[in-house]
Chain A
Amino acid sequence: AQKVTQAQTEISVVEKEDVTLDCVYETRDTTYYLFWYKQPPSGELVFLIRRNSFDEQNEISGRYSWNFQKSTSSFNFTITASQVVDSAVYFCALSGDNFNKFYFGSGTKLNVKP
């Protein structure tokens, strides 16, 4: 069975703070993909990153970084020096051997206050 858990329902930080959003996944597949999406207040879903199960290298993109650890089945997302525009709901997702569907976590709402 495929499952994604985002235990943090809501996080509030002050601008310029660093914040980490946790994502823990469950799968029995040997090949799978992990994703992060952002849903700002306007409602659209914005793709941020895809990582396959064979690539455990961390990734950095500007203020965003991702830490993939197979040993703990985690794919955490860190925003450095957060900004008000980072306020959104962030979803972690998993796609396994049945690649035709994504299993989404319940999302973490991030509030960045000025």
Chain B
Amino acid sequence: DTAVSQTPKYLVTQMGNDKSIKCEQNLGHDTMYWYKQDSKKFLKIMFSYNNKELIINETVPNRFSPKSPDKAHLNLHINSLELGDSAVYFCASSQDTQGEAFFGQGTRLTVV
């Protein structure tokens, strides 16, 4: 069983569209994250949730809206996609706020 799974793995879409990425973890962790990895491989946190509550929103445009229906899920919805949103988006989870994070396999988003 995959510990942290995200879907889809690849997403190609046109500018202006709205898209969602889903993430689920079966580790029983309390904390979940979204990270963005740009074309230079730089990883930056976007959001952090602890027990379904938003803890960190790292100056991300409000076109990005995370939603955590329960502790095991953290989805990312993106409105009005722009070319600059093209990146790999990683979901992750950790036991608590001090633990190591386990990452999903990433979603490569390409906006054309």
- A: residues with CB less than 8 A from B are 33, 35, 37, 39, 43-47, 50, 89, 91, 95, 98-102, 104, 106-107, 109
Total count of chain B residues near the partner, CB < 8 A? 28
Query: Which of B41, B45, B99, B104 is in CB contact (< 8 Å) with A101?
Result: B45
The distance in angstroms between the C-alpha atoms of A102 and B42, with both chains bound, is 12
A50 near B99: Cβ-Cβ < 8 Å? yes
A-side interface mostly = strand
Which residues does chain B contribute within 8 Å of A106, judged by CB atoms?
40-42
Apart from A33-B98, A45-B90, what 12 extra A-B contacts exist at CB < 8 Å? A39-B41, A95-B98, A98-B56, A99-B97, A99-B98, A100-B31, A100-B97, A101-B48, A101-B56, A102-B43, A102-B45, A109-B41
Residues of B66-112 whose CB lies within 8 A of A: 88, 90, 92, 96-106, 108
